[in-house]
Structure 1
Amino acid sequence: MAADTILLVMDMINDLVHPDGMGAKTYVVKCRERNVYQNTTSIIRRAREAGLPIGYVRVGFSPDYRECPPNSPVFSKARDNGFFKLGQWGTEVYGDFAPQDGDIDIIKHRVSPFYGTKLTPLLSAMGVKRLLLTGVSTNGVVQAAAREGHDRDFECVVLEDCCAGATDDEHDYALAGVRRFATISSAAGVTI
């Protein structure tokens, strides 16, 4: 199955999941409670051992925020507070999940990893049919990837113990809504 599968590690960037990042009081707390750090490290290791490609999806904007939607409740807060600036520490992948040579880097300017990115043509060229989805937030990028991935004819698998919302309710609600579009699994339980 590995030949047609990719692991996507989404928005696991310092601004959101590093203890010194802006997400320290929300995502970091939930990632620790849910063992997301250990589970994500484990699935990345398993994916590498199986020869799966790994794609890192990162939200980020130019320093002047030219790509930032002016009326977005989510991204206008980032702009107003100086978060998600490309080329800075905050948009680098959290060190525990560090990309390696040959890993894929996808920069996005919206919630969806597909909107306005190179992800779709890349997956097509690689012959990918199955997406293993991880990251923060469950109710943001993970949910968007599962829904849009489904509509682009990918088999989507959400690794729920490699995801977190800012609250338990956000995480649980997102998973409940995504079950119609994706299989829900765990890092240890997914077949690679």
Structure 2
Amino acid sequence: MTGSSTVLLLMDLQRNIVERYPSAAVLERAAAAADAARAAGIPVVHVRVAFREGAPEVAESNRRFAPAKARATGGEHAPEVQIADAVAPHPGEPVVVKRRVSAFAGSDLAVLLRALRAERLVLAGIATSGVVLSTYIEAADLDFDLVVLSDACADADPEVHRVLLEKVFPKQAAVLTAEEWAASAA
């Protein structure tokens, strides 16, 4: 699993999302996965959701993002939408800015993955029922080989988290702990 055919995606591990989840353990496991990836020569790509000042990209009909539109200040450069310090990008690691739930939606992720010759994506992030699920579906449809790091994901609803990890994700992905994946990436 070494080389550029595998890419680790750390998704939505940004300050304004991390603060809403009991995520210290998730951040530790995501950081450990990133360290293992770097040691194995596997690219680490960070993904975050952000909007321009005033969130002009958000339609009033968008139930997920419209309520936050009024609070959107500072735009995509605001401190609260930056990656959490515990998993901060290392120099040279790309940060993809997306405009919707999936890491692919409104971003240049597909272009970046093509340039990296990615075949396998390793997914970690918050929330399991949000960015992880949406990205998993789109990546599976794009024929990527997928791995989901079960303990480097979090969700507000523990039952939804469990069902996704135990019943949904295994249909098209290997579901491993960060430690299991790190051992196989070495």
TM-score (norm 1): 0.88
CA shift for structure 1 position 93 = 0.2
Instruction: Determine helix, strand or coil for the equivalent of 1:68.
Output: coil
Instruction: Determine helix, strand or coil for the equivalent of 2:149.
Output: strand
- Cα distance in structure 2, aligned partners of 1:142 and 1:161: 12
| Contact 2:146 2:172 (C-alpha < 8 Å) held by counterparts | yes
Counting aligned pairs with the same residue, the percent is 31
CA shift for structure 1 position 157 = 0.4
Does 2:65 align with 1:57?
no
Q: Which residue of 2 aligns with 1:116?
A: 106
- Cα distance in structure 2, aligned partners of 1:107 and 1:174: 25
CA shift for structure 1 position 144 = 1.0
RMSD: 1.5
| Contact 1:159 1:186 (C-alpha < 8 Å) held by counterparts | yes
Q: Which residue of 2 aligns with 1:126?
A: 116
For 1:161, give the aligned amino acid.
Answer: D
Does 2:130 align with 1:140?
yes
Question: Where does 1:172-183 land on structure 2 (aligned, <5 Å)?
Answer: 172-175=162-165, 176-183=167-174
Q: Deviations over 1:113-138 (max 9, x none)?
A: 11232111211121110001000000
- Cα distance in structure 2, aligned partners of 1:93 and 1:83: 17
- Cα distance in structure 1, aligned partners of 2:59 and 2:100: 8
- Cα distance in structure 2, aligned partners of 1:62 and 1:82: 8
- Cα distance in structure 2, aligned partners of 1:103 and 1:125: 14
Q: Which residue of 2 aligns with 1:73?
A: 63
Deviates more, 1:1-10 or 1:84-93: 84-93
Count of residues in Structure 1 that have an aligned counterpart in Structure 2: 181
Instruction: Determine helix, strand or coil for the equivalent of 1:161.
Output: strand
Q: Structure 1, unaligned stretches of length 5 or more?
A: none
Q: Deviations over 1:125-172 (max 9, x none)?
A: 211100010000000100111111111010010001000001212312
Q: Which residue of 2 aligns with 1:16?
A: 17
Instruction: Determine helix, strand or coil for the equivalent of 2:163.
Output: helix
Does 2:93 align with 1:103?
yes
Q: Which residue of 1 aligns with 2:147?
A: 157
For 1:86, give the aligned amino acid.
Answer: E
Q: Structure 2, unaligned stretches of length 5 or more?
A: none
- Cα distance in structure 2, aligned partners of 1:69 and 1:82: 13
TM-score (norm 2): 0.91
Q: Deviations over 1:56-97 (max 9, x none)?
A: 110000011011232122111221333793110111000011
Q: Which residue of 2 aligns with 1:188?
A: 179
Instruction: Determine helix, strand or coil for the equivalent of 2:156.
Output: coil
CA shift for structure 1 position 110 = 0.6
